[in-house]
Structure 1
């Protein structure tokens, strides 16, 4: 199955809504969950699904992502035709960068053509979910579809930015229509009686011949990107078999949580991380047969020690602490600390996310914060306690999450 399926992971975008965290990196490389990068979840799905021919299409501030792929994902054997290869714009048709997801695929048509795979699986590299793609490929082959679109069930209130899917009333769920997303206004009252609906997840499995034929429809030198679902797949509905595959069905090895999040805003990113601290989190990182692989530096174990001045024991409550972290007389509550974080004597960290190498000075207080990599919080500083002062100095999300960046 691995040799029959070529993976294209779209990781070229900065990502809407996460600008405060993507100043130095693309969205796919944003840290998540105390030790991972966002793209690790998509790559782990490929690894566990036995699909190991992966092209990662990169562009925006890609150095961090490419370094992570080199350090953490150089695990496949090219002698067995296995690879994870970053592909920045090759400019084979001119001097243009990728204009968007479809244009990134279009510009790399030659890589698709020369690969011997029968299927092409297109994935987003900037969403958090677990899925057994092997079952998707099996279902695709069973139905004989030209394209299979992975869908998830949403309510009108929880719908995202993905295209809506309308199914025909037949067996094997052929798709009748693909419609633009329709988000309710922020002022709209939740309607518990509203029917559920389906939307795409940015996961599309093509017969290679069908994808190449779709690429033929679009001339070189297009000036705008083309939406994969609405502009590429929708015209195929009247010509070829396009089927839906429901995310989280009984088949596959990771069905219980049915979790998917596209991290579309700072608040969504913060909430997704904080949800990992629940007694029963919506995303189980501890499933033994679906471990999320990543790069881990050779850091010493995390530890707590008494403060050098106060003698108070360092403590942490309901938190995640990565390797190399030291709590030296400080206190950490309901927070996620990435590697090599240091919390000094008397400092208090509450409901916050601290990226790698953050140092929190003695007596400082942080609440409802996301602190960027290697930022130094001065002794006695207070962030997240005075909303007016925070807005004068930092980015503050609509729900009051303070993002502290370098400088």
Structure 2
């Protein structure tokens, strides 16, 4: 994989995840207590032996940049030609923000060309999954392909949010529609369609030519799914690669945590006895920045006050001081004080829950102090009146450093 360069697109606004993306890019949103969303894509790269990585950022990138600088650069050795570089918009080619996924890569084409790769793997930095990209590249080479696209079967309802492909028996792509209103189903399976995962392998010189060609088209959206891929289906060798899940469970695990409800569900799923996503598999580790913090601590054990946690993820530095946590994800350095209850909730780092406070079906961002005796997640109208976000499914979101009045 020495001739492979990975380009991680990490510049999306993540507007559907607000207020969690009010101060950070979507790939920098915490996940499963210790991690950030981008850690899954970056871990896939390292586990696949891809050791040349460019991360293209744009909106609210400081938190993401800091996380990668502190937690990821130590894994790679620049002297051996390994690196993970965060590249903000430089406007070397255009004075505008990135206009689409293809434009983001085009505006950084000089950085790609300097590495002289044979293949370029284009990845999104905002999905949760485990995948060996070396198998994707091997399939690309075996097929003598110009482009290979990772593919996943999804329901027809879900397919309206993806690029949908039609393939021949050898997986050569003969049709591609971006987010069609009426997706074409897989032959023999009227309930499912073959969707693009937004993961591409390009022959590098072919990619550079297509990006330069697309940049001259004023009517183009400069997007891989909308423009680049459909334009080459009929004339070039474009193949699908069925998703091979390194999670090794009965069903393939891939999550787009692009909405508050999908993000909430993906986190709470992890608190089950045998969750579909296995974070404890040392054969395919998920890496992240691990600051020096003390272990979690549970204190008080008496009939009227006990620090306890059930079916939950509790991160380092947490103190559960006489409170009760159930089916929740508690982020680093948070504190649950006496007689407080946290149920089916996600707390980010450094959250303090006051005595006798009750939190249910909520997401609480970093550095929030929950006053003593307050209830969150029990009355949607009251939560909205406090300025909190409440989703259609009833999940309450408290923004970062929110000042809550008791």
Same fold (TM over 0.5): yes
Q: 1:327 maps to what in 2?
A: 320
Task: Give SS of 2:306's match.
Answer: coil
For the pair 1:82 / 2:57, whether they are aligned, the reply is no
Q: 1:104 maps to what in 2?
A: 104
Work out the CA distance in 1 between the residues paired with 2:229 and 2:94.
Answer: 26
Q: Which runs of 5+ in 1 are unaligned?
A: 185-192
Contact 1:156 1:183 in 2 (8 A): no
1:202 to 194, 198, 204: 198
Q: 2:279 maps to what in 1?
A: 285
Q: Quick one: structure 1 residues 343 and 288, their matched pair in 2 at CA, closer, same or farther if it must change by over 3 Å?
A: same
Contact 2:220 2:227 in 1 (8 A): no
Contact 2:380 2:394 in 1 (8 A): yes
Contact 1:101 1:225 in 2 (8 A): no
Q: Quick one: structure 1 residues 294 and 162, their matched pair in 2 at CA, closer, same or farther if it must change by over 3 Å?
A: same
Q: Which moved more, 1:317-326 or 1:106-115?
A: 106-115
1:379 to 372, 378, 389: 372
Work out the CA distance in 1 between the residues paired with 2:48 and 2:158.
Answer: 28
Work out the CA distance in 2 between the residues paired with 1:146 and 1:133.
Answer: 16
Deviation by residue 1:358-401 (Cα, 9 ceiling, x = unmatched): 00000000000000101000000101111221122210011000
Q: 1:188 maps to what in 2?
A: none
Work out the CA distance in 2 between the residues paired with 1:319 and 1:162.
Answer: 33
1:231 to 218, 222, 227: 227
Q: Which runs of 5+ in 2 are unaligned?
A: 183-188
Runs of 4+ in 1 over 6 A off after TM superposition: none
Deviation by residue 1:96-149 (Cα, 9 ceiling, x = unmatched): 222232111010111122222100000000011100001111111111000000
Q: Quick one: structure 1 residues 64 and 318, their matched pair in 2 at CA, closer, same or farther if it must change by over 3 Å?
A: same
Q: 2:389 maps to what in 1?
A: 395
1:148-187 equivalences in 2 (<5 Å): 148-159=148-159, 161-168=161-168, 170-171=169-170, 173-182=171-180
Q: 2:259 maps to what in 1?
A: 265
Q: 1:51 maps to what in 2?
A: 50
When the two structures are superposed, what TM-score results if normalisation uses the length of structure 1?
0.92
Q: 2:27 maps to what in 1?
A: 28
Contact 1:157 1:183 in 2 (8 A): no
Q: Quick one: structure 1 residues 283 and 224, their matched pair in 2 at CA, closer, same or farther if it must change by over 3 Å?
A: same
Q: Quick one: structure 1 residues 224 and 180, their matched pair in 2 at CA, closer, same or farther if it must change by over 3 Å?
A: closer
Q: 1:358 maps to what in 2?
A: 351
Work out the CA distance in 2 between the residues paired with 1:233 and 1:346.
Answer: 57
> Across the two proteins, how many residue pairs are aligned to each other?
392
Deviation by residue 1:281-309 (Cα, 9 ceiling, x = unmatched): 1111111111100011211110111189x
Work out the CA distance in 2 between the residues paired with 1:181 and 1:40.
Answer: 27
1:122-141 equivalences in 2 (<5 Å): 122-141=122-141
Q: 2:185 maps to what in 1?
A: none
Work out the CA distance in 2 between the residues paired with 1:210 and 1:134.
Answer: 20
Contact 1:155 1:194 in 2 (8 A): no
Q: 1:367 maps to what in 2?
A: 360
Q: 2:186 maps to what in 1?
A: none
Work out the CA distance in 1 between the residues paired with 2:237 and 2:141.
Answer: 12
For the pair 1:314 / 2:307, whether they are aligned, the reply is yes
Work out the CA distance in 2 between the residues paired with 1:307 and 1:360.
Answer: 19
Contact 1:124 1:202 in 2 (8 A): yes
Q: What's the C-alpha RMSD, in Å, of the aligned pairs? A: 1.9
Contact 1:93 1:220 in 2 (8 A): no
When the two structures are superposed, what TM-score results if normalisation uses the length of structure 2?
0.93
Task: Give SS of 2:244's match.
Answer: coil
Contact 2:361 2:377 in 1 (8 A): yes
Q: Quick one: structure 1 residues 377 and 179, their matched pair in 2 at CA, closer, same or farther if it must change by over 3 Å?
A: same
Contact 1:325 1:340 in 2 (8 A): yes
Q: Quick one: structure 1 residues 254 and 267, their matched pair in 2 at CA, closer, same or farther if it must change by over 3 Å?
A: closer
